[in-house]
Structure 1
């Protein structure tokens, strides 16, 4: 029985003194990480639980075709839900590989399991993203896009780069923020941004680089978003990176349902868990918690506009 409880939802944290924004979460995916038999909270329940602890606004990220469609429909829903929500849409780099027809064997010796929507050619998938971004005024970012070379060979990397460049161009065309997914691809992502030019508001979602890269990104005026890993004991280098970023360029996120912060790592994540990461940002930077909350909230509006 105790083991089952440890797999369930973390307890509610103490409320934050000033409301903040979870600038990257996947409400559509939370059902996939719950223990079998657990009830799946509704979006309204997620938002209410988050608001009760000081997370009163959320950016919902749809980064495969079903999630893009789900996000679009969600943002067109009832005002009692959409008032707390903005959206970001894109084709995730690992999804781009599948849309591009690349079937690579991963380190586990298995090929990815393509879904029916992967039969849509990559150009058509990105065109659908563009149509949603143009047609829904609550979509405020293109993302998450970028490169992920953790399980990607040369052909997959080529497809990811092509997709990333198309998303960068779309964000600039529409005047939207860009949310970047960068896993084991720091040099490659920075090269694309240098060659193509970054959008005015560029966010490194779930920042994973070192302090030197953080200084470089901050100097470009980019925003670095920190998630649960900044709370992990082994990630001293990530906390060192955080200390290199002006507070006005720091955002916070859950990336729920993944990357649950310490001490609840391995359990389901949701927007209401964000205060653990916010408190770590305050501790690492030596800044009063209320000041961190106020600045993060203001920066979120600067990047994504008013809710």
Structure 2
């Protein structure tokens, strides 16, 4: 376990079910471990319909858990009206705080690009209709993701989950008002372009995440990931940016609360 952070931070993107959580007790134990490291809340994210249902339910089991629902771009080959109706229903639930993860993935060929684009545009519209932020999955598709957002008109709040671009792409996103969320990949010592982007991004447009169980941060790369590991990423980015970890954690928490409306949900 990492040393407890000097100020709490939010894991802006994780997959509790893929980490092995199945029951309310599993979720509580995972969040207890995260809390011990200073990670006090998480957004658990869906990638298919079953996962979306689970995430929405898990967010009611523990007040430290919030949910995001969508169909991952690699799963959009079958995106019929029944799927859209169910995602629309889930998106309206109060503890579902984002539409995601959605976007474009050109690394895998599990879904045709035409299908991915159609689904992405539909999710953009859903975010607008619900007034909830859009959580972007962008893998090897930077230019096309921006093109879709520009042509459709981006929602008021957009988060690039597991940001993977360079400084030029970070600038293009930040200029549009988008928020960049950095996972364990930003701690990898050979990720020079990504670390340059993490060093530069304005503090009020920065989030940290685990994307657990994937992308475990340095120095534990390759091992299983959990929300508590966001503490490692936070400290590494603070060092990279030459900022105090407490100050950075406080700023990131404010950004997460603003983007996802976490305080409003907790008080409702």
TM bucket normalised to smaller: over 0.9
* Equivalent-residue separation in structure 1 for 2:41 and 2:98 (angstroms): 15
Contact 2:72 2:101 in 1 (8 A): yes
**1:128 partnered with 2:117:** no
Q: Which residue of 2 aligns with 1:19?
A: 8
Q: Deviations over 1:19-40 (max 9, x none)?
A: 00001000011139xxxxxxxx
TM-score (norm. length: structure 2): 0.94
- Does residue 1:148 correspond to 2:128, yes or no? no
SS in 2 for 1:181: strand
Give the match for residue 55 of structure 2.
71
Q: Select 1:191's aligned residue among 123, 144, 147.
A: 147
Q: Report what 1:90 is aligned to.
A: 70
- Are 1:228 and 2:212 an aligned pair? no
Contact 2:56 / 2:68 at 8 angstroms: preserved in 1? Answer: no
> Per-residue deviation at 1:122?
3.2
| 230, 248, 255: which one aligns with 1:299 | 255
Q: Does 1:248 align with 2:204?
A: yes
Whole-Å separation in 1 of the counterparts to 2:4 and 2:60? 29
Distance 2:256 2:56 in 1: 20
Does residue 1:49 correspond to 2:33, yes or no?
yes
> Which consecutive residues of structure 1, in runs of 5 or more, have no partner in the other structure?
1-11, 33-40, 100-120
4+ runs deviating over 4 angstroms: none
Instruction: Provide the secondary structure at the position in 1 that maps to 2:2.
Output: coil
**Aligned-residue CA RMSD in angstroms?**
1.4
Mapped partners of 1:288, 1:209: distance in 2: 25
Bigger Cα Rg: 1
Count of residues in correspondence between the two structures: 260
Structure 2 residue runs without a partner (length 5+): none
